[in-house]
Amino acid sequence: MTATDATAGKLSLAQVLEILAGGRLPLKFTAYDGSAAGPPDAPFGLNLLTPRGTTYLATGRGDLGLARAYIAGDLEMHGVHPGDPYELLKALADSLVFTRPSARMMVDIIRSIGVGQLRPIAPPPEEALPRWRRVAGGLRHSKSRDAEAIHHHYDVSNRFYEWVLGPSMTYTCACYPGDDASLAEAQENKYRLVFEKLRLKPGDRLLDVGCGWGGMVRYAARRGVRATGVTLSSEQTMWAQGAIASEGLSDLAEVRYGDYRDIRETGFDAVSSIGLLEHIGVRNYSSYFGFLRSRLRPGGLLLNHCITRPENRSEAATRGFIDRYVFPDGELTGSGRIISEAQDAGLEVLHEENLRQHYALTLRDWCANLVEHWDEAVAEVGLPTAKVWGLYMAGSRLGFENNGIQLHQVLMTKPGEGGGVGDLSLRPWWTP
């Protein structure tokens, strides 16, 4: 039976999908009702296993329904490893375009699926509450709610992160010096780039906000810089403090558990913010940059490194899968908005660059690490959480490759009296 004459009887699940996809399925689809669609010899496939999966797909907006069904075990992927489903997601992104059926056809689809399958049900337990229900944890981007959001994402398991991130324990975009560079080399090169842009030298004082597992703090301390890091993740704090002690850097390096807004010291020579702005909230940019400016000495340097949108018009709040499973309350905007807010806060922008292609490579390598350590990762955090990470990292890689998201580094200074910039060079002083 074809999609055109299927209205004579009840539609199968495969026929429903073919209708919605306009007959252009790039992979093989099979369902628990025995139906199938798409090229039978396709290298990739999806298998819908349960009626609950149908409900998730039918009631979840955008990518959320697919994610729920997949994470709950109601939808299987074939032809890819769960730690790196990149190729399947790429096939879907390149070829699958859903169409809006006629009103008559929609009635037939609803009748075939059954009204009962269209009633929302509880999502998998790994999913965060919707934004409107998170108010119990405080107003968005209050200290208490930010702490809960960071806990949701970063306090998974330090062992899990060691397997995925590798020895550097760096959960931000690397900077690849060449096509054949390893992940470890690229992360070391990223820290080198930030260090040089900030013109740090022995005896200087660095504040690293949102410091993660202390990679930048330890990199700077090894070079004689007195570095203070702060993070809202208790797991990161414990790991970083242990690494500082084991490297014998305690005289120069410190990682504190807490909110960056609780830092009281001032007069820092430099501030690095690597992967924190995504969690700040766009409406808080003014106070954020104003606070960091207040921590700097006149002529001090600030580097902001964060994920951005490729334009400045879209709503900043993330939605769907990313908001509910990965970064609750995360917000992204364009680099133009970031630069404007920094300038309005009294900072002078010296340089900015886009490293989005580097982030695609970083995610490729993180997925490869997850695949390599899949069995250990599943044993550590459970299959659903491991699947979340494979889906999230592979999907994000596509986003960076397709220019749906970018990664910008913006270098700024706090001008001195009369606009002075001290002894800053006339041209960039760092090695690209």
* Average pLDDT over all residues of the chain: 91
- Segment 49-54 mean pLDDT: 96
Q: Is the same domain home to 81 and 161?
A: no
Ranking 27-36, 57-66, 375-384, 403-412 by mean pLDDT, the lowest is 57-66
* 409 occurs within a structural domain: yes
Q: Is the same domain home to 261 and 362?
A: yes
On the question of pLDDT at 282 being above 90, the answer is yes
Cα of 252 vs its chain's centroid, Å: 30
Q: Which two tokens stand for residue 238?
A: 């414990």
Q: Is the same domain home to 260 and 197?
A: yes
Q: Is the same domain home to 58 and 148?
A: no
Final residue of a structural domain among 67, 102, 118: 118
On the question of pLDDT at 323 being above 60, the answer is yes
* 14 occurs within a structural domain: yes
* 65 occurs within a structural domain: yes
Bridge partners (DSSP) listed for residue 348: 413
Q: How confident is the model at residue 143 (pLDDT cuts 50, 70, 90)?
A: low
Q: How many domains does the chain have?
A: 2
**The pLDDT of residue 132:** 52
Q: Is the same domain home to 201 and 330?
A: yes
On the question of pLDDT at 4 being above 50, the answer is no
Q: Which amino acid belongs to residue 305? A: H
* 343 occurs within a structural domain: yes
**The pLDDT of residue 97:** 77
On the question of pLDDT at 147 being above 50, the answer is no
- Segment 121-129 mean pLDDT: 88
List the beta strands (DSSP E) in 170-310.
205-209, 226-231, 253-257, 268-274, 296-308
* 50 occurs within a structural domain: yes
Q: Is the same domain home to 80 and 186?
A: no
* 131 occurs within a structural domain: no
Q: Is the same domain home to 357 and 303?
A: yes
**The pLDDT of residue 5:** 43
- Is residue 163 within 8 Å of residue 376, measured between CB atoms? yes
Q: How confident is the model at residue 314 (pLDDT cuts 50, 70, 90)?
A: confident
**The pLDDT of residue 380:** 95
* 138 occurs within a structural domain: no
Q: How confident is the model at residue 63 (pLDDT cuts 50, 70, 90)?
A: confident
- Segment 222-242 mean pLDDT: 96
**The pLDDT of residue 141:** 52
On the question of pLDDT at 194 being above 70, the answer is yes
CA dist 43 → 32, 40, 80, 88, 374 (Å): 20, 9, 9, 9, 22
pLDDT digits (tens, 9 = 90+) for 76-123: 999 999 999 999 999 999 877 777 888 888 899 989 998 888 899 999
Q: Is the same domain home to 357 and 393?
A: yes
**The pLDDT of residue 164:** 97
Distance between CA 237 and CA 93 in Å, rounded? 38
> Side by side, which strands form the sheet with 36-37?
36-37, 28-31, 45-48, 75-78
- Segment 238-243 mean pLDDT: 97
CATH of the domain at 185: 3.40.50.150
Q: Is the same domain home to 66 and 184?
A: no
On the question of pLDDT at 19 being above 70, the answer is yes
Distance between CA 169 and CA 246 in Å, rounded? 15
* 310 occurs within a structural domain: yes
Q: Is the same domain home to 151 and 12?
A: no
Note down the domain range covering 59: 6-118
Q: Is the same domain home to 185 and 103?
A: no
Q: Which two tokens stand for residue 291?
A: 């606070």
Q: Is the same domain home to 293 and 410?
A: yes
**The pLDDT of residue 151:** 47
